[in-house]
Chain A
Amino acid sequence: MGKITGFMEFRRLSEHSLPVAERLKNYQEFIPRLTDQQTSVQGSRCMDCGIPFCTTGCPVNNIIPDWNDLVYRGNWKQALDVLHSTNNFPEFTGRICPAPCEAACTLTINDDAVGIKSIEHAIIDKGWEEGWVTPQPAQTKTGKKIAVVGSGPAGLACAQQLARVGHDVVVFEKNDRIGGLLRYGIPDFKLEKSHIDRRMEQMRAEGVKFRVNQHIGVQVSAQKLKDEFDAVILTGGAEQPRDLPVPGRELQGVHFAMEFLPQQNRIVAGDVVPDQIKATGKHVVVIGGGDTGSDCVGTSNRQGAASVTQFEVMPRPPEQENKPLIWPYWPMKLRSSSSHEEGCQRDWAVATKELTGKNGKIEKLHAVRVEWKDGKMQEVPGSEIEMKADLVLLAMGFVSPMQQILEAFGVEKDGRGNAKAVTDGAGYYQTSVNKVFAAGDMRRGQSLVVWAIREGRQAARAVDEYLMGSSSLPL
């Protein structure tokens, strides 16, 4: 359990970010992992609870107390094994996960949580550094062929799990590179793309085949997949962004975040992007207070925006949640990302009313303050806001998966337009269509990377069971 009294002796040490001025110069990651020594001390703060709430707080159920203890004892290799036993891609979650585990950490009741995410980050980075992350090809092949449609975290996790138990897995991706949201949604300064490439190398060695530029249901027919493969898993994410139906939406300079962010990632990757949407020198307004919004803020600042403003329609959450009634669950509270540190005006309970401009180009944003009563929004009379805007980025979340693919397969959908499938009991992760499964955001709707990994892993087990009658893959 690390050190019995570690939590009483040592303070939480958060990872140290490079100075804002420094990190704004490029698109590189700016949070180096903790040193081995620091990590070990942080691991010793873990109390090895009789009930490790962190483990259930974590969607992939990382066995956190065990690896905390192992790094405390300096047994990094084994810590990595334990970490990998629940999580295919800790280098992703160790960087971009909001860490619900830490919200569930017993220490947060009256102290600072164990720095679980930073320890995860250190373990996996050390693992790569030491060359401990190696391919684990299956001993025997099953001869079963499986198509994974969509190469985001759900698809990758699913593919890796299935390949490791001996299935022939092909991953289809509509874009030109593998990774889905990880590749084009998340900016490089949060997650450098070499991490994805490294994993792909590993997965290739484990027998996974990757096919890019294959838009299933558009370029390739669903039927063809069903004919050629023993099982198909739909892991296409939830890409349909929520729109802002206000006058002036059509103006030039008003873009979805997912139009804006991928372009920068391509540039960083060395592509040439004609007519790139750029924030350079502009007054940028980001609408939507979530993680994607943050990414827009960070990217805009790196591009050299004149100003960045972020609006959120919901009221400003409290600085501190009512812990006795919320812990160990995920609290609604004010969260500031690293991007916010880099320069940004934030405002809450603001609803955009209209966008105006000249020559078809956005110039101003008109908004009003709102109040929320019983879940209903009411405008506050006389609170109108008007502000200059050269670039408006819509980051208000995603409503559903792209519908073509679901329709191409003819799978039944739930009320929100997601592929309908249960996650436990008989027929878990199976859609209404025989041998077609669905997982990740495409099934559950917009969510976290860590949830996508969980679903990918679980769906892999479901498919394995479906094909083989039983499965040794963990849930």
Chain B
Amino acid sequence: MSHSSLPVQQGLYDPRHEHDACGVGFVAHIKGKQSHGMICQGLQILKNLTHRGAVGADPLAGDGAGILIQIPDAFLRKSCAAQGISLPVVGKYGVGMLFLPRDAAARAACEQVIVDKIAAEGQVLLGWRDVPVDNGSLGESVKAVEPFVRQVFIGSGSNCADVDSFERKLFVIRKIAEHAVRGLPNEQGRGFYIPSFSARTIVYKGMLLADQVGKYYLDLQDESMVSALALVHQRFSTNTFPSWDLAHPFRLIAHNGEINTLRSNVNWMTARHAAMSSRLLGADLEKLWPLIVEGQSDSACFDNALELLVAGGYSLPHAMMLLIPEAWAGNPLMDEERRAFYEYHAALMEPWDGPAAVAFTDGRMIGATLDRNGLRPARYLITEDDLVLMASEMGVLDIPQSKIVKKWRLQPGKMFLIDLEAGRIIDDAELKQQLATAKPYREWIEKSRYFLDDLPSVDIKKSLLDTSLLDTQQAFGYSQEDIKFILAPMAAAGEEATGSMGNDATLPVLSDKNKVLYSYFKQLFAQVTNPPIDPIREEIVMSLTSFIGPKPNLLGIDETDPPLRLEVHQPVLSNEDLAKLRDISTLTQGRYKALVLDITYPAAEGAAGCEGAIKALSAAADRAVADGYNVLILSDRAISSVRVAIPALLACAGVHHHLVREGLRTSTGLVVDSGSVRETHHFALLAGYGAEAICPWLAYETIAAMSDYLPAGLSNKDANKRFIKAINKGLLKVMSKMGISTYQSYCGGQIFEAIGLNADFVSQYFTGTATQIEGIGLHEVAEEAMRIHQAAFGNDPVLSNALEAGGEYAYRVRGEEHMWTPDVVAKLQHATRSNNGQAYKEYAKLINDQTQHMKTLRGLFEIKPAGAPVPLAEVEPAKEIVKRFATGAMSLGSISTEAHTALAIAMNRIGGKSNTGEGGEDPMRFKSIKGGEKLSEIIGKGRIEADLTLLPGDSLRSKIKQVASGRFGVTAEYLASADQIQIKMAQGAKPGEGGQLPGHKVSEYIAKLRFAIPGVGLISPPPHHDIYSIEDLAQLIHDLKNANPHASISVKLVSEVGVGTVAAGVAKAKADHITVAGHDGGTGASPLSSIKHAGTPWELGLAEAQQTLVLNRLRGRIVLQVDGQLKTGRDVLIGALLGADEFGFATAPLVVEGCIMMRKCHLNTCPVGVATQDPELRKKFTGQPEHVVNYFFFVAEEVREYMAQIGIRKFDDLIGRSELLDAKHVIAHWKAKGLDFSKIFHQPDVPVSVARRHAEEQDHGLTQALDHRLIAEAMPALESKLPVIIEGRIRNVNRTVGAMLSHEVAKRYGQTGLPNDTITVKLQGTAGQSFGAFLAHGITLELSGEGNDYVGKGLCGGRIVVLPPKECNIVAEENIIVGNTVLYGATSGECYFRGVAGERFAVRNSGAIAVVEGLGDHGCEYMTGGIVVVLGQTGRNFAAGMSGGIAYVLDEDGGFEHRCNLAMVQLEPIPDEAAASDLGEVETHGRVHFNHLAKADEQVLRDMVSAHLRYTNSIRAQDILNNWARYLPKFVKVMPTEYRRALQEVAAEQTKQLEAV
């Protein structure tokens, strides 16, 4: 029996992909005063964080919760005495909190281990105590795995001088006991777990709901149980499998967030084993290994690492700074000493990177820190009676406002600490100052550091090539496309090339072509459980610095001789750099020694020689390390007609893992010098498998020889520089896709999965990488490399004077196979235009029959009959089946108005659904159609270039409204018009990335729909700035459900390994609908490397999602949709059998509309008017809704024919029947024959009663919404526009207040809403998240108290005022008033916040105006419109990606310029009124059109400050107005340059029109 019912790995489900996130909080008494009240308050926080956790299929089963407190001596003494155990004085005994097996024999075995280990380490066993519990309230599924909870008491042995050394011993005992229990026979140790084992702290936790912790553990109710601190945690996990161990807190921490770099961190910890030593731990250090056991959560691993550091002598805050450093590299504001501290420690350890709010304590001090990008919320307050409360949100404890003396938040990378022994709070500055000056870090660095760049250059041999360039390129598998699409754009412009229309080429493992090993790997990306980063706009957190060479002893904290460090600013080495590295011994006077290891071997040995060559290489690496070489360069420059290269990736990963296993990896650096490397994906892979730096030597040779493709006059040196720049940008993008900000953490991180490589091969050379369908192994990999080599040096006449065609990015006759061929396109268009079923059948046959050329996984599937065939007439009619069809999310902007509306009309005609895409929707399209109208009459004359006539009953409305990270045009009205609201977490073409609509595509119409300015480019950020974790997604789902209670909420995911657990989490986050998109789909523009190398086929993602949802018993509440290059009825059938209820199509309907796969969408030159905004080209659009209707009916009819054949009448009966699928038995292909689809076809072993398809509805809990009351009281306003005033209290559990009320307004009055101040709501208290979300015009929310995160999200006309309560004595402008990500995606309306806001204020604001008295980092990011006035300090990176709108910032200390990101904006003083009118400022005329900026800057500013005063009684505002002349010069105007240009153009246009009149 186990305390975890986490299933074993099965099918595509793998427990290691589980994620969690959560709410975290603590209370502490600064002076260390212990009380029982502290524990009660901790438990109360938990209850009030309930909404941050989740429940699964069993409503009584939460995801786990717990509390960590100080050792309650009095209570334990009393309880022990009752059992005859006598405890020594505090500090002389420790308590082990144990989860033990319920089986008596197993329990006895585990206990015996504890007893033995205590003795072995020289400590004293004092006794055991059964912990009393009440499991009456536990759910059945939880009870089934409930542990036997006991405490063990250990007395300090004579070998422990003090509490610290005793604590270290306890740590050692715990580790060795854990190791020993794992080794017990007959799985007796299964279910054994030690929540805590300490002389200072104790943890009570379990698979409990937040409010069950205090009920379950009776100890906690005892009044004599006291503590000066209580750290609590409520978990939200992506599964429903009860697991007692995974609940937080751990021994030292409770974590809210996700460690994205976990794989790398764990690997590097393992790699350090041999090189680590500690004076404090001495011989005990060795006993700790394995330090981090596989299969734990990220937080548990982090806790393990932290424990080691603390045991090794680091103070708790010091260790935290090492693990989660601030972004120091590009921060000019950081003081020199602190930077040196971080810089020094960077060489010791790579950051544990990812969104993280970590609360930590050792019982003597308690504190918290935040990740470098501030991706989790952490707010705190301090009361006059020395209470500190820190939590994910405020309002979790009811503390009288009058007692509060400070309200603040943790800022990105910052820490705060309460030293209970010293009785005071140590703030970030003081704490870090103290640590930073403890050692002469700067001096040490200067003494020990080499920058490769700064070393003197050495001569390099001019000609590196022995063989011809062409042969060499061919030997590494270069194609013409590598030159044209990959290298040319990079060398010419420093940019990776862009493409469009997805990837329809054959999977490498199915290809007849010889592929390079790189192509078998797919990049992983963050979705839902952690956010991607924007590496361009949030560059300040990114770093490509790489350390080459051995890693220092992590625990060498007492060493005074600083370890050497060899650094590069970025990991792409030039030939010159590599020459320096080869010569490093000379350059560093022998301190570094480099050895080149040749990775080629005799071609005569054939593929069979590869294995031996790798073994020899590993042996050579061992020898080299033994001989003191500390930089190993793996090089394939020796390639020739008689020497073939081991694929560099294989050599790199092989050596890396070999050295890790041998414990030697941190003794040397690993550098790859390979001709095979040419695109970002290659660099990323080598980095991911251990390369600290990479020299792409053949890429340089190639660039030198491709002047044809480069601008005239570009020197070779500059071309190389641009190439490196492009690769750097690409690497940042690949890293940030997974939310990783430093190369150092990415290195060795293995953020990839393999498709088509067998598990043996992967586990040997790419240890720990996921591979799900088996495939080729070492022999085939070597054989493929050998074939490439042979072709290069063979007699092939086609290759005699040219490279292979390639054909990956565009169809080429001799190139790679594609799904979309000329015949496929032609047949589909002919069939649908003439409604010719026979032609459709020819089309479908071309797609479905892949016997000649295999292209997709599903092409290799066979469909087995479920029974005897049934007559076609008895099969569910096509008109029912087509209702399951939807078109993909293609925005008006990416495709033309004509193409977009034609799809909507068609889908509405068949009862399916079309999707707006992320560009808003014209309210004109909601109109009902009588029939006979022209499209142009509805949309507007100048806006339609190819008109069409509408039929009665037609509708132009897209039933699915997309909500993407850009939030363009997302208003209450838009949401109210939806049947389904789709949250785009990722898109198939470029998962984990943002997008950009270039200015030339932003027409007047598109600008109007997106609340933007024509001609100004629009950025979609990579992350949704209100979704950094799963509970954030739950919040957004809740917001949208409130904004339209009748719409189903959909979440769009992209297939990758682990998408199943994400889907389960999304289901628990209350989504109604999940889309799993394949990697191959995607119509939009995207970097080529993303099109090709991110995401996996939908067959895998869909099957994993289905299996995981069924296993979690969540499948029934979800509608599961699949999309990604679905083309035929067979595709639909296979999708259904693998678990899909619904089906999305994008490329095929576009082809039906006339798309001919030009793949030039990103150039705006679509010659058939589909994917362009050029009016001339749009005239050429010939698509008709009828054609699309024909297509979907053909598909449905094809499905019916299959259903009849296999004997299934109802579509529902197909769903999830993966047992009807089998692999084709005839696969003879030399690569494909190793594939194994059994994991895809796996059926979870659950009772038949568990739903396998959509069968029930989610309970969104909307009935509890405060808005019901507001709506009831606002009825006179809603129905008769009569003003109403509503008053009341609000708590943090009242979330999304105002959204449902706004829905009622939008339903009745659209975007116009109600007249100003029709509904006024005055509230007191602390608002829950998303206060005033999507607030409609005519509603004012006035909050006296404070707001949490997401205030005014999507504000669309309403007014929000937040001010501190009268009774609160704090100085408003020095305290926080609202949380993070306020006004995200606001389109209009106004806000006044009397106090300071958190990070990312007004992100993606496109029209709202706001006044605030200070704000955090990344303010006004991606803003495109509106006005923000800041009457105080801003954080860093203000105005990043800001392309529109204006900000006025009061810059009293003159430092604003350093905190502002000047990439897209200019700073200027505010002209006074007189000057402005003289100058004829652009915004002084003609601007009424956009917003109320028809006045001069000064007037606008003054009006806004006056309004702020009026609404909030701000003393700050009063002071400024009183001293206007003194303050005005201190205001800085932030003006986006693009915006200014566009405004000037608009003004010129208006002047011209006026003159014409």
| Chain A residues whose C-beta falls within 8 Å of the C-beta of B826 in the assembled complex | 53, 327-329
B1163 contacts the other chain (CB 8 A) = yes
Which single residue of chain A is at the shortest CB-CB distance from B833?
A324
- Chain A 157-176, CB-CB to B under 8 Å as 1, else 0, gives 00000001100000000000
Chain A residues 34 to 80 lying within 8 A of chain B, measured CB to CB, are: 47-53, 55-57, 61, 63, 66, 73, 75
Which of B797, B805, B1156 sits near A51, CB closer than 8 Å? B1156
Which of B501, B813, B823, B1182 sits near A55, CB closer than 8 Å? B813
Q: Are B811 and A50 in contact (CB under 8 A)?
A: yes
| Chain A residues whose C-beta falls within 8 Å of the C-beta of B812 in the assembled complex | 52, 55, 63
Question: Which one of B708, B825, B826, B1163 has the highest number of Cβ atoms from chain A below 10 Å of its Cβ?
Answer: B826
A329 to B830, CA, bound (A): 11
Which single residue of chain B is at the shortest CB-CB distance from A57?
B822
| Chain A residues whose C-beta falls within 8 Å of the C-beta of B829 in the assembled complex | 324
Which of B480, B813, B1167, B1182 sits near A111, CB closer than 8 Å? B1167
- Chain A 1-42, CB-CB to B under 8 Å as 1, else 0, gives 000110110000000000000000000000000000000000
A325 contacts the other chain (CB 8 A) = yes
Which single residue of chain A is at the shortest CB-CB distance from B1179?
A110
Q: Are B794 and A474 in contact (CB under 8 A)?
A: no
A139 to B794, CA, bound (A): 12
A294 contacts the other chain (CB 8 A) = no
| Chain B residues whose C-beta falls within 8 Å of the C-beta of A328 in the assembled complex | 822, 826
Q: Are A48 and B810 in contact (CB under 8 A)?
A: yes
B1331 contacts the other chain (CB 8 A) = no
Which of A7, A50, A63 sits near B1159, CB closer than 8 Å? A50
A112 contacts the other chain (CB 8 A) = no
Which of A47, A73, A326 sits near B1158, CB closer than 8 Å? A47
Chain A residues 309 to 347 lying within 8 A of chain B, measured CB to CB, are: 324-329
A231 to B802, CA, bound (A): 30
Which single residue of chain A is at the shortest CB-CB distance from B501?
A50
Instruction: Write the nearest CB–CB distance from B714 to chain A, whole angstroms.
Output: 15
B767 contacts the other chain (CB 8 A) = no
Majority secondary structure of chain A interface residues (helix, strand, loop or mixed): loop
Which of A4, A50, A55, A164 sits near B1157, CB closer than 8 Å? A50
Which single residue of chain B is at the shortest CB-CB distance from A7?
B1167
Q: Are B1165 and A4 in contact (CB under 8 A)?
A: yes
B1176 contacts the other chain (CB 8 A) = yes
| Chain B residues whose C-beta falls within 8 Å of the C-beta of A472 in the assembled complex | 794-798
Instruction: Write the nearest CB–CB distance from A380 to chain B, whole angstroms.
Output: 30
Which of A5, A81, A106, A473 sits near B801, CB closer than 8 Å? A81
Which single residue of chain A is at the shortest CB-CB distance from B480?
A66
| Chain B residues whose C-beta falls within 8 Å of the C-beta of A106 in the assembled complex | 1156, 1158, 1167
| Chain A residues whose C-beta falls within 8 Å of the C-beta of B1168 in the assembled complex | 109-110
| Chain B residues whose C-beta falls within 8 Å of the C-beta of A111 in the assembled complex | 1167
A51-B708 CB under 8 A given contacts A56-B813, A107-B1167, A324-B833: no
Q: Are B822 and A51 in contact (CB under 8 A)?
A: yes
| Chain A residues whose C-beta falls within 8 Å of the C-beta of B1159 in the assembled complex | 49-50
In the assembled complex, 12 residue pairs joining A and B whose CB atoms fall closer than 8 Å, in A order, are: A47-B1158, A50-B501, A50-B1157, A50-B1158, A53-B822, A53-B1156, A55-B813, A57-B822, A61-B814, A85-B802, A472-B794, A472-B795
| Chain B residues whose C-beta falls within 8 Å of the C-beta of A47 in the assembled complex | 1158, 1160, 1165, 1167
Chain B residues 803 to 843 lying within 8 A of chain A, measured CB to CB, are: 805, 809-814, 818, 820-823, 825-826, 829-830, 833-834
| Chain A residues whose C-beta falls within 8 Å of the C-beta of B1167 in the assembled complex | 7, 47, 106-107, 109-111
Other than A7-B1165, A49-B810, A164-B797, give 18 A-B pairs with Cβ distance below 8 A.
Answer: A47-B1158, A50-B501, A50-B1159, A52-B811, A53-B822, A53-B826, A55-B811, A55-B813, A82-B802, A85-B798, A106-B1167, A107-B1167, A109-B1167, A109-B1180, A139-B795, A325-B830, A326-B830, A472-B796
Q: Are B708 and A75 in contact (CB under 8 A)?
A: yes
| Chain A residues whose C-beta falls within 8 Å of the C-beta of B813 in the assembled complex | 55-56, 61, 63, 86
Instruction: Write the nearest CB–CB distance from B1169 to chain A, whole angstroms.
Output: 9
Which of A49, A75, A82, A325 sits near B1156, CB closer than 8 Å? A49
Question: Which one of A51, A53, A73, A325 has the highest number of Cβ atoms from chain B below 10 Å of its Cβ?
Answer: A51
| Chain B residues whose C-beta falls within 8 Å of the C-beta of A56 in the assembled complex | 813, 821-823
Instruction: Write the nearest CB–CB distance from B1091 to chain A, whole angstroms.
Output: 12
Which of A8, A48, A63 sits near B805, CB closer than 8 Å? A63
Instruction: Write the nearest CB–CB distance from A10 to chain B, whole angstroms.
Output: 14
Majority secondary structure of chain B interface residues (helix, strand, loop or mixed): loop
Instruction: Write the nearest CB–CB distance from B1021 to chain A, whole angstroms.
Output: 28
Q: Are A4 and B1163 in contact (CB under 8 A)?
A: yes
Q: Which 10 A-B pairs give the minimum distances between C-beta atoms?
A: A50-B1159, A472-B796, A61-B813, A56-B822, A50-B1157, A51-B811, A51-B1157, A110-B1180, A53-B822, A474-B798
| Chain B residues whose C-beta falls within 8 Å of the C-beta of A57 in the assembled complex | 822
| Chain B residues whose C-beta falls within 8 Å of the C-beta of A61 in the assembled complex | 813-814
Which single residue of chain A is at the shortest CB-CB distance from B1163?
A4
A104-B822 CB under 8 A given contacts A109-B1167, A110-B1167: yes
Q: Are A324 and B1182 in contact (CB under 8 A)?
A: yes
Which single residue of chain A is at the shortest CB-CB distance from B1182?
A324
| Chain A residues whose C-beta falls within 8 Å of the C-beta of B1160 in the assembled complex | 4, 47, 50
A454 to B802, CA, bound (A): 21
Q: Are A109 and B1156 in contact (CB under 8 A)?
A: yes
Chain B residues 1106 to 1157 lying within 8 A of chain A, measured CB to CB, are: 1154, 1156-1157
A73 to B822, CA, bound (A): 27
A357 to B797, CA, bound (A): 60
A189 to B1399, CA, bound (A): 79
| Chain B residues whose C-beta falls within 8 Å of the C-beta of A52 in the assembled complex | 810-812
| Chain A residues whose C-beta falls within 8 Å of the C-beta of B821 in the assembled complex | 51, 56
Which single residue of chain A is at the shortest CB-CB distance from B796?
A472
Q: Are B810 and A51 in contact (CB under 8 A)?
A: yes
Instruction: Write the nearest CB–CB distance from B502 to chain A, whole angstroms.
Output: 10
A121 to B1163, CA, bound (A): 30
Instruction: Write the nearest CB–CB distance from A65 to chain B, whole angstroms.
Output: 8
A8 to B796, CA, bound (A): 39
Which single residue of chain B is at the shortest CB-CB distance from A82?
B802
Q: Are A51 and B795 in contact (CB under 8 A)?
A: no
A474-B797 CB under 8 A given contacts A50-B1158, A81-B802, A324-B1182: yes
| Chain A residues whose C-beta falls within 8 Å of the C-beta of B797 in the assembled complex | 164-165, 472-474
Which single residue of chain B is at the shortest CB-CB distance from A424?
B852
| Chain B residues whose C-beta falls within 8 Å of the C-beta of A86 in the assembled complex | 813
| Chain A residues whose C-beta falls within 8 Å of the C-beta of B822 in the assembled complex | 51, 53, 56-57, 104, 328
Instruction: Write the nearest CB–CB distance from A322 to chain B, whole angstroms.
Output: 9
A8-B1165 CB under 8 A given contacts A73-B708, A165-B797: yes
Instruction: Write the nearest CB–CB distance from A342 to chain B, whole angstroms.
Output: 36
| Chain B residues whose C-beta falls within 8 Å of the C-beta of A75 in the assembled complex | 708
A165 to B794, CA, bound (A): 12
A52 to B480, CA, bound (A): 16
| Chain A residues whose C-beta falls within 8 Å of the C-beta of B834 in the assembled complex | 325
Q: Are B1157 and A49 in contact (CB under 8 A)?
A: yes
| Chain A residues whose C-beta falls within 8 Å of the C-beta of B801 in the assembled complex | 81
Q: Are A49 and B1158 in contact (CB under 8 A)?
A: yes
| Chain A residues whose C-beta falls within 8 Å of the C-beta of B796 in the assembled complex | 472
Q: Are B1180 and A51 in contact (CB under 8 A)?
A: no
- Chain A 75-101, CB-CB to B under 8 Å as 1, else 0, gives 100000110011000000000000000
Which single residue of chain A is at the shortest CB-CB distance from B1161?
A50
A53 to B1158, CA, bound (A): 10
A73 to B710, CA, bound (A): 11
Instruction: Write the nearest CB–CB distance from A56 to chain B, whole angstroms.
Output: 4
A8-B501 CB under 8 A given contacts A47-B1160, A51-B825: no
Which single residue of chain A is at the shortest CB-CB distance from B820?
A51
| Chain B residues whose C-beta falls within 8 Å of the C-beta of A165 in the assembled complex | 795, 797
A82 to B803, CA, bound (A): 11
Question: Which one of B798, B1167, B1176 has the highest number of Cβ atoms from chain A below 10 Å of its Cβ?
Answer: B1167
A85 to B799, CA, bound (A): 10
A55 to B818, CA, bound (A): 14
Which single residue of chain A is at the shortest CB-CB distance from B1187?
A324
Instruction: Write the nearest CB–CB distance from B853 to chain A, whole angstroms.
Output: 12
